[in-house]
Amino acid sequence: MNKFKKYLKLTILVCIIVSNLTVISAAEEKTNLELIEQLGVIKGEGNGLTEEYLSKENKRWQVALISLRLVGKYDEAIEYKGNDNFSDADQVIWTPARTALAYLKAHPNLGWDGIGNNAFNPNENMTVKGYYKVMLEVLGYKQDADFDWDEVFEFAEKLGIKSARKSEKLTIRDIANISVEVLNAETKDGIKFMDTLTKGDVEENDEPVKTVITETIPKDDVKPTISEARAVTGTVVAVTFDTRNIDEDTLVAENFLINNNVTVTSVEIDEDAMEKEENADKTIVNLTVEGLKVGIAYTVKSTGVASCEGSVADSGDSKYIFAGKEGKVNNANVKPTIRYAEAVTGTIVAVVFDTRNIDKDTLLVENFSIDRNVTVTSVEIDEDAMEKEKYEGKTVVNLTVTGLKQGRAYTLRVTGVASCEGLVMDDSKKVFAGRG
């Protein structure tokens, strides 16, 4: 397993130790949580089985993936090639999860036959009764044949599945307890369920069988967002995301866009950079690109980069402006200069520089001042404006100000703004008319 998977996802080992068809010695001595964690059905979110984690609810599609791990069908499900799926499967953004739903539709014996009318309702929270029903069908029993919906709890209790029947919501703790009860329950054929997971062409002295599964228990609010980007060379752009909860299958060239006719040809995870202490909670990828030029500012956007649970940030939220490099950047002797300034409203002053080769970190409030008791309170790059043709090759920043009055002339003074190569602009002034 590569370093990225180790960093980015929780590695879950479902380890069925086969020796005379027994499963994990002394399992009875372990608590339900310890056992189910060892089996890899649940793993936590990086801090073990905390109380906060154990108290969480999960959406139907997330619980479906947990159940697939329990029965040892996860790998087979996410690699399924069938195209027939539930009508609302596209509500799940993460591609492997959508694939797993198609697998479940094709294998109704696993208990996930949807809610009717070819729908799955994937983003609703899973109920206790619903999970009981799924587990009963995993054991080979069928609703409306062996049990009715109204007697799910009573039927399950006869099989020893009873720990969560009084729970008002299905939590991770409930899933752990129910799962252990299911492992020890008898199938409709009279075989203990855990024994069915080890059957096959097994010799008495066979080595332990291990199934490796890579999956993350949900962290619903994570949407991978670009937090930094920089041109390393004229052909490589390093992009940093603010999380390690990223589905690496979505880190592909087509999910990255750079303006000004730059083409992204490949994406590679920078494992060495991610080993540094300052990058402990970040994902760093190197984009191989064509078309960068020095002295031009570019905007890189991610579209479709998803968390392991399928959450995707809007491209408007996941973008970053960086300065291009081309060949020997020591020839880029560019000092930023102001082209003009204008009051857009009574509280916004737009400042236009004649280059995009500007170090963003020098666009600070203290580097901008306006006379006549006007106060600059914030500075923000106007990325939307910079995408317009009239601002090609220019940098536009919006100053939020207080104290402007209609009909008065003001002088803007800018100091300390520098190029990406460290060349500081000359002390510059521009006169503009105020707005009330």
CA distance 223 to 305: 9
Q: What is the pLDDT of residue 43?
A: 65
The partner residues of 12 in beta bridges, in order of sequence, read 213
Q: Which two tokens stand for residue 259?
A: 């303006």
Q: Which domains does the chain show, CATH number per domain?
A: 3-214 (no CATH), 226-331 (2.60.40.1220), 338-433 (2.60.40.1220)
Nearest by Cα to 259 from 228, 292, 287: 292
Q: Which residues, other chains included, contact 88 with Cβ-Cβ below 8 Å and sequence gap of 6+?
A: 119, 120, 121, 122
Residue located via tokens 């596209």: 90
- Residue range 59-114, pLDDT digits in tens: 999 899 889 988 888 889 989 999 899 999 988 878 888 999 999 999 999 999 88
Q: Which two tokens stand for residue 76?
A: 């087979």
Q: What is the pLDDT of residue 7?
A: 38
CA distance 310 to 325: 34
The count of residues in the chain is 436
pLDDT band at residue 221 under the 50/70/90 scheme? low
Q: What is the pLDDT of residue 52?
A: 82
pLDDT band at residue 138 under the 50/70/90 scheme? very high
> Which pTM does this prediction carry?
0.44
CA distance 191 to 189: 6
